[in-house]
Amino acid sequence: MAVDKEKWIVDPLTPWQETTPGGLIPTGGNAKYYITGGWRANHPVFDTEKCKDCRLCFPVCPDSSILIDKETNKMSGIDYEHCKGCGICANTCPFGALTMEEGGQP
Amino acid sequence: MGKRDKLSGNEAVAIAMRQINPGVVAAFPITPSTEVPQYFASFVNDGLVDTEFIPVESEHSAMSASIAASAAGVRTMTATSSNGLSYMYEMLYIASMSRTPVILNCVNRTVSGPLNIHCDHGDSMGARDSGWIQVYSETNQEAYDNLIIGTKVAEDPSVMLPFMNCYDGFITSHSVENIELIDDSDVKKFVGEYEPAHALLKNTCAFGPFDSQLYYYEHKRHQAEGMKNAKAAIIKYSKEFEKITGRKYNLFEEYKLDDAEIALVIIGSSAGTAKFVANRLRDKGIKAGVLKIRAFRPFPFDEIGAVLKNLKAIAVMDKCTSLNDAGGPLFLEVRSALFDQPLHPHTVNYLYGLGGRDVKAGDLESVYMDLIKIIETGETGNVHRYLGLVE
């Protein structure tokens, strides 16, 4: 019920006196604090063995939830905090390294 | 010192726009507002302004472009009338909710149908709850002055709401009157630079995000506070304006109301006729007055109630039919404002001037005579009345 003015996260049901005019978001890059993983009905599962690291999954993911290891520069997994379970990655993967399984949580 | 000139209302407004030199003007032509962007386009062509002029393909686009430009951080203006305003409707709410202080010159014209290009207040009255500040003018001078004052009101940090500068189509927009123009440099000094706290081109930010059940209500309340603050802002900037021009404005004009027993409450150019009639009646010893609405949004609810409570009979004049079998918008609000007062004068509603129907001094005099009759008989009689209707 408050406003974090560093990250500009306005909690639900924040008093009107503290909220921003018209819901303005007065900063950038804070969408990551909005955990959308709970929206999932089905979840993708990543099979390291089958992955050829073509990284076709990366550009098609609408939620930037394909994780790339910064050191190896290889696909390393899925950001389940933000993945909404749309299944586009599984549909795109030419090697079956990404598959959808029932249920929101892995 | 100002410069005396003779100008139509639209010319005067376009000149005020030139003097303000907004960042963006986006407009689509519709009678009788067409001349405003037309004159302004010539100023753009002649290099008299730095404005980015966007000749959009519709009024919906005019308002969309205006909101975007205002969110980007520049002063933004447009003009429209009648169905053009109707076509902006969706975006009017977005402008006010996004707190983008867009300036719209609304040259009042009947909304079709049937098709009619002449003046009544049906267009802007329809948008009365869209979150726009609405100020109405009696004369060309006021249309010019209100645009300059309104720019400051809209942009006040405590307000940040769009501003509708309303004046009567043809009667005010096209008739030529004597007018005093303020020096360009004085207008520029008065309006200053537009410096919003948040703007797309100034800092990273996002306007108009999705607003769920857990947020929307509080954002609306925040917006309502902006409208409430607009009242003080109108008074503040009108006083500042008076210092440079000597022309005095308030939320409404009280014309000979101090000792009045009967009065018309009226908006726009017909207020001039009402004052003329009130004077004529005063010569006969009748205590007649006029309350001319300037700010309709925010509505000076308490102030109007306090001023009118001591009268004996009031006619609230609506140049707009609500088709609700309850009364025009001005009537319903004025009478409601009187409810909290200790005294309740007889208050009746007249529809008049619809679709540009001429309203003459004799017509308004007959309204005053009706009020005298109400006082004499003590009977309010029919509350909902038609002035100038053939029946």
CA-to-CA distance for A88 and B147, rounded, in angstroms?
A: 53
Nearest to A28 among B97, B204, B223 (CB): B204
Q: What integer pLDDT is reported at residue A2 of this predicted model?
A: 78
Q: A23 lies in which domain range?
A: 1-34
Task: List average pLDDT for each run of 10 residues in chain B, which is 391 residues long.
Answer: 92 98 98 98 98 98 98 98 98 98 98 96 98 98 98 98 98 98 98 97 93 96 98 98 98 98 98 98 98 98 96 98 95 96 95 97 98 98 97 95
Q: What is the DSSP string of B186-212?
A: HHHHHH-----SS-TTTS--B-S----
Q: What domains appear along chain B, each with residue ranges and CATH number?
A: 3-245 (3.40.50.970), 252-386 (3.40.50.920)
The answer to whether residues A26 and A48 belong to one domain is no
Nearest to A24 among B205, B212, B221 (CB): B205
The answer to whether residues A41 and A72 belong to one domain is yes
Q: What integer pLDDT is reported at residue B1 of this predicted model?
A: 64
Residue numbers in A near B208 (CB within 8 A): 22-23
Q: How close does chain B come to A76, measured CA to CA in Å?
A: 31
Residue numbers in A near B212 (CB within 8 A): 12
The answer to whether residues A27 and A10 belong to one domain is yes
The answer to whether residues A23 and A70 belong to one domain is no
Question: pLDDT of chain A along its 106 residues, tens only?
Answer: 678 888 888 999 999 999 999 999 999 888 889 899 999 999 999 999 999 999 999 999 999 999 999 999 899 999 999 999 999 999 999 999 999 999 999 8
Q: Please state the pTM of the whole predicted model.
A: 0.94
CB pair distance less than 8 Å for B219 and A14 = no
Convert the pLDDT of each residue in B119-133 to its tens digit. 999 999 999 999 999
Cβ contact B37:B58 at 8 Å: no
Those residues with Cβ within 8 angstroms of residue B311's Cβ, 6 or more apart along the chain or in another chain: B257, B260, B261, B262, B263, B289, B345
Q: What integer pLDDT is reported at residue B2 of this predicted model?
A: 85
Q: What integer pLDDT is reported at residue A1 of this predicted model?
A: 64
Convert the pLDDT of each residue in B213-244 to its tens digit. 999 999 999 999 999 999 999 999 999 999 99
- CA torsion sign for B131, B166, B280, B365 is negative
Phi, psi of B289 (to 5 degrees): -140, 175
Cβ contact A22:B99 at 8 Å: yes
The answer to whether residues A8 and A60 belong to one domain is no
Q: What integer pLDDT is reported at residue B300 of this predicted model?
A: 98
The answer to whether residues A93 and A51 belong to one domain is yes
The answer to whether residues A66 and A90 belong to one domain is yes
The answer to whether residues A104 and A82 belong to one domain is yes
- Between the CA atoms of B328, B334, B339 and B342, what dihedral angle is there, to the nearest 10 degrees? -150
CA-to-CA distance for B113 and B344, rounded, in angstroms?
A: 37
Residue numbers in B near A27 (CB within 8 A): 203-205
The complex's ipTM works out to 0.90
Q: What is the DSSP string of B90-129?
A: HHHHHHHHTT---EEEEEE-PPSSS---S--SHHHHHTTT
What are the Cα distances from residue A74, in Å, to A49, A55, A68? Answer: 13, 8, 5
Interface of A with B (CB under 8 A): 10, 12-17, 19, 21-29
Looking at the structure of chain A, the number of domains it has is 2
Q: Is B215 on the interface with A (CB under 8 A)?
A: yes
The answer to whether residues A56 and A99 belong to one domain is yes
- Residue A59's CATH number: 3.30.70.20
Q: How close does chain A come to B232, measured CA to CA in Å?
A: 19
Question: Kind and range of the H or E element at B18?
Answer: helix B9-20
HEC profile of B146-165: HHHHHHHHHHCCCCCCCEEE
Residue numbers in B near A25 (CB within 8 A): 205-206, 209
The answer to whether residues A71 and A44 belong to one domain is yes
The answer to whether residues A28 and A10 belong to one domain is yes
Q: Is B324 on the interface with A (CB under 8 A)?
A: no
Residue numbers in A near B202 (CB within 8 A): none
The answer to whether residues A21 and A57 belong to one domain is no
Residue carrying structure tokens 């730095």? B50
Nearest to A22 among B97, B217, B225 (CB): B97
